[in-house]
Amino acid sequence: NRSGPSGNTYHSSGVVNTALNVTDDKKVKEISAANSSVLDVGGIYGNLEPPSPIRIAEFPEYIISNIDKVEHEFGLLEGVQQKHPWTVAEEEYNRKKNRFRNMYPYDHCRVVLPKLPGDHHSDYYNASFILNERDVRAYIASQAPNKASVDDFWRLIWEQNVQTIVMLANLYEDTKERCLQYWPKEENEMQSFGYINVTWTKTQHFADYVIRTLSVERGGTIREVKQLHFKEWPDKDVPDSAMCLVEFARHCKLIHFKKKTPLLIHCSAGIGRTGTFIGLLSMMDVLQSKEYIDIFAFVNKMRENRVNMIQTKKQYRYLHTCLYEFHLTRDCQISAQILSRFKIHDNKAAILREFELLSEVEMSKTNDSLKTRGTTDSLARGNSTDSLETGGSMKTEHAPRDRFGNMVPTGRRKVFMLSSSPVTLITTSMLPSSSYEKKDAFITTQSPLPNTIEDFWRMIYDHKCHTVVMLNQLDKSDKDSVTAVWFI
């Protein structure tokens, strides 16, 4: 520990490189001991030891068996807040450029801008260089710009030759501004930020995110910048599923592939969601190239370069869930060109294995033995009420309305209906599903029963469904079988 110039105490911890490629357990124990010796924690977590590196071949089973221990691991990180001085960020002239108190870049790793003529304070923006798993400055963790800093934000992008921006916040969340819009209001419009001109040239929409192409011009030189905006991540919380962020991360890597300039990532403060996503990108690389993975050590290393990277236990748990699902599904993608030449009869074993992987993920949602440590939605959010509801009061209440008790959608994904009723009805047998490019593009549902056909039509009316696709035949011999939906 050492005292800073303002009397604050900073806790400095050296961190072992997490790009582990060791082969013997003795070395793993040495690394674990080194991590333990550098952490300064106390209180309820003072008698806990940091986790050892995990052999990647054993990673899926480790996550399933130990997911509840992850929150205790996070407690070891919570014991330390500010580790290094941030004197530049606290200067009076720079305070208006910061969105939040005590969420500043450290002096030793802040992104320093060239000073403007006659302005000695113009080298500051709230952004930090973050090392990847190979100790390369691959990322810039940034605060979302405000009115006082938006011109500096674009100067940072230009000076660092940023070609890809990842935005993890929305402009407004809970009625509060979380990010000033730093691109033009409309597509094909140009807006100036100081001496930098930005034109929004193209938009691609996907279910959970949007990609904007921006043309950035300064002094006659034009560069293209891609902005990947993930829209489904609540502040200090996590998305509804892990796979949506994993797919977003894959797309981000594809766009940024082979680019040698840093990837800029921001949420609102540039700490919680930003830290989680950087952890995901880096640890995805480790899972693909190393023998061991140490998520805890990497997060600890990130916090050496920016305060409180990954802000909550839920985000830390969610990171593990995303990595679990990425590891399970990393060999399941093929290009459209290869698909056109794909021969099913020669690849039956691979197709069957993919289906088995789906079953593994689904089992973790429904198996009672994994109820508190299952993966995907409930594991990611740390909330068992989001798992498939195969028991409890909801099932009992709606049992006469469900054809199959073991096919009930998750708590967060039920379809709500409002028409012709003084109260909101949650129907347990109707589930919204996204397409590749549109959120909640489909509603999947059971065939209506005699006592639910009115609800079926209310759902169609409330959600403005123009098309109904029916995939089964009527069985007139079964009074509880498919009811004809075209009349009541």
CA 284/CA 118 separation, integer angstroms: 45
Is 345 in a helix, a strand, or coil? Answer: helix
In order, the DSSP letters of 96-144 are GG-SSTT----TTTB-PPPPBTTBTTTT--SEEEEE-TTS-EEEEEEPP
Residue 267 a catalytic site member: yes
CA 265/CA 408 separation, integer angstroms: 37
CA 74/CA 310 separation, integer angstroms: 9
Q: What are phi and psi of 177, to 5 degrees?
A: -70, 125
Residue with tokens 């990954």: 310
CB-based contact 187:200 (threshold 8 Å):
yes
Helices (H), 257-402: 272-289, 295-302, 313-329, 336-339, 348-366, 376-381, 393-398
CA dihedral angle for residue 20, residue 25, residue 30, residue 32, rounded to 10 degrees: 70
Dihedral of alpha carbons 250, 251, 253, 254, sign: positive
Spot the catalytic one: 252, 267, 322, 465.
Answer: 267
Which string of b and e fits 399-425 if b means at least 16 CB within 10 Å?
eeebeeeeebbbbebbbebeeeeeeeb
Residue with tokens 């990647």: 56
Just list the catalytic residues. 267
